[in-house]
Amino acid sequence: MSVPSRRQLPPLSKSRFLAGLQCPKRLYLDCYYPELADLVDRAQQVVFDTGNEIGELARDLYPGGLLLGGERVRHDDAVRKTGKALSDPGVPAIYEAAFTFEDVRIRADVIVRAPGGVFDLVEVKSGTQVKEEHLRDVSIQHHVLEGCGIPIGRTCLAHLNKDYVYLEGDYDLRKLFRVDDVTDRVQPLHTEVLTALEAMRLMLRGAEPPDAKPGRQCSQPHDCRFYGHCHANETEHPVLQLPGAGQELFDALGESGIGDIRAIPADFPGLNPLQQRVRNCVANNWMYLDRNLSKTLKALEYPVHFLDFETFNPALPLYAGTRPYQVVPFQWSSHTMSSDGGLRHDEFLHSGDVDPRENFARSLLEALGESGSIVVYSGFEETRIRELATALPPLADRLTALVSGRMVDLLPLVRNHCYHPEFRGSFSLKSVLPALVPELGYDDLEIRDGGQASVAYAEMIRSSCPPARRDLLRKSLLAYCERDTEAMVRLFMKLREGP
């Protein structure tokens, strides 16, 4: 990957600036080796599409503006059109305005003409709160606008209001969005922007990418699109697999030259009991299984119901009484084991464009009855049931009874009583299952995780979804959710056997 020291630097953009703040190596690769980036999967594409949809909707907060064509228009052409629009007092707002200053290019979501000959800068975000990375996002835009001589009045962030309750019909945009004035929070970042830009340009002149060891920056504040490239040749059990480890521990390990869990000395300071257990299992290639776990599982009340939910959380609420990003359950699967080991499978998958929650809840209550332990993997299902009890008062008592003494969460039981080196630091069902029940997996399914299930359901209920495609999605969703509860049954039986 080595090349001569670079003289002609690529232009920076808002996204590249933010990439450089997250990790200098990410910026270098983005500028010179974009082909090394991971492919964008369907779930990530949905996130991008959702952001675009919310950005377009937010323009109606500032009606009468001029759209400059976004990314479809060449940047230099968009800059010229922006200058013309800024000089026309009849244009109250500009959407996707383009600017360049000192070879930094930006597109501003909305520039609004304000009293006193100034303009307000409005950045639209699809989340529900202002985050630190958002402030740095608008700080680089503010820097470019000032450099171009554009007088800025207020700097604002428009985002979805998590407290907005959708009723029916069109959204009330003034309630759906919150517009926060962050001018006072952005102005102190001016020096930081200048310093960061200087460091990035210096780094980009290098003949090789900077040496950046994998760490928390690989996924914070966002998953790096070069994650696969940077982790391709990492050790089998990197220290990043230590559950719950903080940066202080990573720094201590790094200073000691330790990158693999197997190289951690038995008496290394700073490991908590769980991390010590992980270290021991990996270093000695053994499995830890506490005998008490088997006793706990053998004491469950039959019939034992193994339960899993699938949900989606549309950014823009679809059903009356829901909020932005509210989690809506649409599917459940249950395997019920009798005392003699017999199994019965029940399932529900909503169809149609109406609110699925009541049909979901009624069918669930019928399937689970009034007796027997309900086994889940994480507290997700219990939280959803409590939310349903609040949303559906006539069913509240029966729903609450499901979580009052009947729920058994396998996740903390596994975390506290079991570890296998092939867990690789994760206690998710998708990590635990192949280690303990290797003959059962998800590779034969079209849908293999909850994120894909959410995307599939959102596609399935769209009126534009062709019947054949809708039928395929339905079958795939049913197969995936059934596999999740089958996996819990098999895991339960494995753990119940004991060491």
pLDDT per position as a tens digit, 8-32: 899 999 999 999 999 999 999 999 9
* Whole-number Å distance between alpha carbons of 150 and 140: 14
Residue 482 has pLDDT above 60, yes or no: yes
Residue 241: per-residue pLDDT = 94
Q: 71 pLDDT exceeds 80?
A: no
Per-residue pLDDT at 356: 98
Residues 6+ apart with CB under 8 A from 158: 58, 61, 109, 110, 122, 123, 124, 125, 177, 178, 179, 180
Tell me which DSSP letter residue 150 carries: P
Distance CA 352, CA 462 (A): 9
Q: What is the pLDDT of residues 77-98, one digit of tens each?
A: 999 999 999 999 999 999 999 9
pLDDT at 403: 96
Q: Which two tokens stand for residue 12?
A: 């920076």
C-alpha 323/C-alpha 402 separation (Å) is 25
**What's the whole-number average pLDDT of the chain?**
94
pLDDT at residue 212 in the model = 86
Tell me the helices (H) and strands (E) count for the chain, helix number first. Answer: 19, 14
Q: How far is CA 448 from CA 45, 55, 160, 345, 429, in A?
A: 17, 30, 30, 20, 12
* 120-124 average pLDDT score: 98
Tell whether the model's pLDDT for residue 68 goes beyond 90. no
240: its two tokens: 């990043």
Calculate what percentage of the chain has a pLDDT beyond 90. Answer: 89
Which residues are within 8 A (CB) of 381 and not within 5 positions of it... i.e. 6 or more apart? 307, 308, 309, 374, 407
Is the pLDDT confidence value at 258 over 80?
yes
**Residues 439/431, Cβ–Cβ less than 8 Å:** no
Residue 135 and residue 156: Cα distance in Å, rounded? 9
Cis peptide leading into residue 273 (ω within 30°): no
CA dihedral of residues 357, 361, 362, 365 (deg, nearest 10) = 180
CA distances from 460 to 153, 360, 368 (A): 45, 17, 27
pLDDT for the residue 225: 94
349-396 tens-digit pLDDT: 999 889 999 999 999 999 999 999 999 999 999 999 999 999 999 999
